[in-house]
Structure 1
Amino acid sequence: MSKPIASMTGFARASGGISGASFNLEIKSVNARGLDLRLRVPHGIDDLENLLRQKLSKALTRGAVQVNLNITYEHLQSEVSVNQQALDTVLAAMTDLASKVEADRPRLDGILGLKGVLELTEAQLNDEDLADLKQAILNAADNAIADLIASREAEGLNVQAFLTQRLVEIAELTLKAEEHPARSREAILEKLQGQIAQLQEGENGLAEDRLHAEALMLATKADIREELDRLAAHVDAARKLLKGGGAVGRKLDFLSQEFNREANTLCSKSNHVDLTAIGLDLKAAIDQLREQVQNIE
C-alpha cells in the first residue's frame, strides 16, 4: 500500500518519566526544501541526540523539524561546594597584596562571589535510573514521531483535496481554450489574412518570399495545439502523483513550473481576448496549485 500524501506542517507532544525525573518532548515541523533537524537536548543526556536524529531521519524525508526536550528532576537537589584549591589561591593572593597595598580586607561574600570559588553540582540520577530515563524518552519519541506523521498526513489530505480541485479547474480551462471559436481554422485564417494585408500595404510591401515566411511565422504563433496537449499531459501526470502518494512534493513542484510555462506561452500566442482571459485564469489556478504544493513532503 502506498504511503499517503503528507504535509510538511505538523506538531506532536509526548511526556513521561521515572521515579525522580519527568520530561516533556515536543516536535514541530514546517516547510523546507530538504530535511533540516534541530534538536535541543538537556546536558547530561547528549548521547540521545544522535539516536533521536536517526529516528527522525528514518521517518521523514522533508521539513524543518524542531525538537525540544525538557527534563524536571524531582526530590533531587543541586549541591553547592567550595573549591578549596581556588579559595586557597585567592587567600594567598590577598595575603601577598596586603603587604604591598593598604586596603580593607574583603568581605566573605565578596570572596565567595569570585568566579570558581563556589561550584554548583547539578542534581543527577544514578546510572541505572539515568538509563531508564533515556529509554523512556526514546519510547516517548517513537510515539511523538508517529503522532507527528499522523498530523502531517491529516493535513496532507486537506492539501490533496485542494490540489485535486485546482487540477479540475486547469483541465476545464484547457478544454475551454481547446473549444474556443478563435481556435478554429477559419478564425485563424481570417486573422492571418488581415495581418498579411497589413504587411502588403504601402510602397514598401514585402516581397513574395518574405511574405510567405512572415505568413508561416504568424500561423505558427497562432497555433496553441502543443501548449494545450502539454497542459493536458501535465494534469494527468499530477493526478497520477497524487494518487500514488508518498513524498511527491518535489515532482509536483516541477510540474507546477511546467504548468506555468505553458500558460504563459498560451497567453503570448493568443489571437483573441477571450483566449487571453482563459490563459490568465489558468495562471491564477496554477499559482494556487504551486503555493500549496510547497506544503507537500
Structure 2
Amino acid sequence: MPVYSMTGYASAQHSPAATPAGEGNRPPAGMRLGLEIRSVNSRFLDLSFRLSEELRAHEPALRELITGRIKRGKVEVRAGLEGSGAEVVREPTVRMLQRLGSVQDTVRGWLPDAPALSVAEILRLASTEDGGSVDWSEPLQQLARQVLGDLLAAREREGARLATMLQGHLQQLRSLAEQARPLVPQLVEQQRQRFLERWKEAMALSEGAATPEAAQDRALTEATAFAIRIDVAEELTRLAAHLEEIERLVNKGGEIGKRLDFLIQELHREANTLGSKSAAMELTRISVDMKVLIEQMREQVQNLE
C-alpha cells in the first residue's frame, strides 16, 4: 500500500450545460461550479466546509464522501458558484416580475411607507431565484470525486517523497549505531589498563599498607563497575529493533503515521540514554548526530496519515 502524506491541494471547475434563466432546474448561462480541497497535518480528521448559500444543503453528502477516503488531517473544503461580466446579471422572467409586484403591493397595503423595490434588489432576487432552483447534487458530487481523487494523488506523491527520506535517515542511523558498537569494548579495556596502572602506582607508594591481592581486586572491581555503567549494548539492540519496525511499516504503507510517531519517541529515548552513558567524545558526537536525524524524522512522520 502507498504511504500518504496529510498535506495536499486540489481544485477544479465545472460548467454544466445551461438553459435560459428561470427555465427548469439547470444552471443559467455562464454559471460555473468551483470546488477546492486543501489539507495539512493534524492528529485526527478535522473537516471544515466553506460553501456558498446555494450549496450548503449538500454538506452532509460531501462529508460522507471525504470521510470514506481520508482518515487523518485538517481538511478544508471550499465550493461556490462563479461567473463573470454580464453573465452574473440574471434577467428576471415576466412571471417573476408579476409575483414581485403582487407581493410588493400587498406589503405596501399594510405598510404604506415601505420603499419600493429597486432595480438592484430585483436583479439580486432574480439571481437568487435562478441559483437556488438549480439541482447541484450530481454536478457537485462528480466534481467532488474528481477533486478528491486529485488530492489523494497529491498526498500519495508527497507520501512517497517522505518515505524515501525516512529510508535514507534509517540507513544513516544504522551507520551511526555500527560506529558506536565497537567503541564501548575499547573504552572498557582502556579504563581497565588505567585502573591497573593506578593500582601499581598505589602499591609503590603504600609500602605494604595494603595487600597486592586486595588492591588488585579493588581495581578490577572499579573497572567492572565502569564497564557496566557505560555499556550501551542494550540501547543499541533496542534501537536496531525500532529501526527494523519503522522500515517494515514504511514498506507496508497505509495508515502508519501514529505508530511511527510512537516509534520515533522510543528512538529518541535510546539516543538520549546513549549520550548520558557516553564516556568519550566520539560516542557523544554519535548520540548528537542520532538525535538530529531522529528530530528530522519526527517532522516528516508528523505529516504522514
The TM-score with structure 2 as length reference comes to: 0.75
Aligned to 1:52: 62
CA offset digits 1:221-258 (Å, max 9, x no partner): 21101110011011100000100001111111111111
How far apart are 1:90 and its partner, in Å?
Answer: 5.3
> 5+ residue gaps in structure 2?
19-27, 201-214
Q: Give the letter for the 2:260 counterpart.
A: L
How far apart are 1:147 and its partner, in Å?
Answer: 0.5
Identity of aligned residues (%): 33
Aligned to 1:39: 49
How far apart are 1:123 and its partner, in Å?
Answer: 2.5
CA offset digits 1:163-217 (Å, max 9, x no partner): 11011000100111012265554235346779999xxxxxxxxxx9x99998775
How far apart are 1:157 and its partner, in Å?
Answer: 1.1
How far apart are 1:46 and its partner, in Å?
Answer: 2.0
CA contact (8 A) 2:191 2:223 kept: no
Is 2:141 aligned against 1:138? Answer: yes
- Identify if the C-alpha distance between structure 1 residues 268 and 123 changes in structure 2 by more than 3 Å, giving closer, same or farther: same
Q: Give the letter for the 1:290 counterpart.
A: R
- Identify if the C-alpha distance between structure 1 residues 273 and 123 changes in structure 2 by more than 3 Å, giving closer, same or farther: same
- Identify if the C-alpha distance between structure 1 residues 59 and 276 changes in structure 2 by more than 3 Å, giving closer, same or farther: same
Map residues 65-144 of structure 1 onto 2, 5 A cutoff. 65-72=75-82, 74=87, 76-77=90-91, 83=104, 87=108, 91=112, 112=115, 121=125, 122-125=127-130, 130-131=134-135, 133-144=136-147
Is 2:192 aligned against 1:154? Answer: no
Map residues 205-220 of structure 1 onto 2, 5 A cutoff. 218-220=226-228
211-220 vs 270-279, which moves further: 211-220
How far apart are 1:69 and its partner, in Å?
Answer: 0.5
138-147 vs 18-27, which moves further: 18-27
- Identify if the C-alpha distance between structure 1 residues 288 and 89 changes in structure 2 by more than 3 Å, giving closer, same or farther: same
Aligned to 2:300: 292
CA contact (8 A) 2:43 2:72 kept: yes
Find the aligned partners of 1:126 and 1:147 in 2 and give their Cα distance. 27
> Could you say which structure has the higher helix fraction?
2
- Identify if the C-alpha distance between structure 1 residues 219 and 16 changes in structure 2 by more than 3 Å, giving closer, same or farther: same
Aligned with 2:238 (options 230, 239, 243):
230
CA contact (8 A) 2:50 2:78 kept: yes
Q: Give the letter for the 2:3 counterpart.
A: I
Is 2:19 aligned against 1:15? Answer: no
Q: Give the letter for the 1:64 counterpart.
A: K
CA contact (8 A) 1:76 1:123 kept: no
Find the aligned partners of 1:46 and 1:39 in 2 and give their Cα distance. 9
- Identify if the C-alpha distance between structure 1 residues 55 and 191 changes in structure 2 by more than 3 Å, giving closer, same or farther: farther
- Identify if the C-alpha distance between structure 1 residues 277 and 192 changes in structure 2 by more than 3 Å, giving closer, same or farther: farther
CA contact (8 A) 2:162 2:300 kept: yes
Find the aligned partners of 1:192 and 1:263 in 2 and give their Cα distance. 29
Give the aligned CA root-mean-square deviation in angstroms.
3.6
234-243 vs 82-91, which moves further: 82-91
Aligned to 2:210: none
CA offset digits 1:259-292 (Å, max 9, x no partner): 1110000000011111111111111111111111
Aligned to 1:201: none
Aligned to 2:190: 187
Find the aligned partners of 1:288 and 1:248 in 2 and give their Cα distance. 17
Aligned to 2:284: 276
Aligned to 1:254: 262
How far apart are 1:40 and its partner, in Å?
Answer: 1.1
CA offset digits 1:132-179 (Å, max 9, x no partner): x32011101001101000000011111111111011000100111012
CA contact (8 A) 2:184 2:232 kept: no
Find the aligned partners of 1:233 and 1:291 in 2 and give their Cα distance. 21
Q: Give the letter for the 1:130 counterpart.
A: V
Find the aligned partners of 2:224 and 2:77 in 1 and give their Cα distance. 62
The TM-score with structure 1 as length reference comes to: 0.77
Query: Would you say how many aligned residue pairs link Structure 1 and Structure 2?
Result: 265
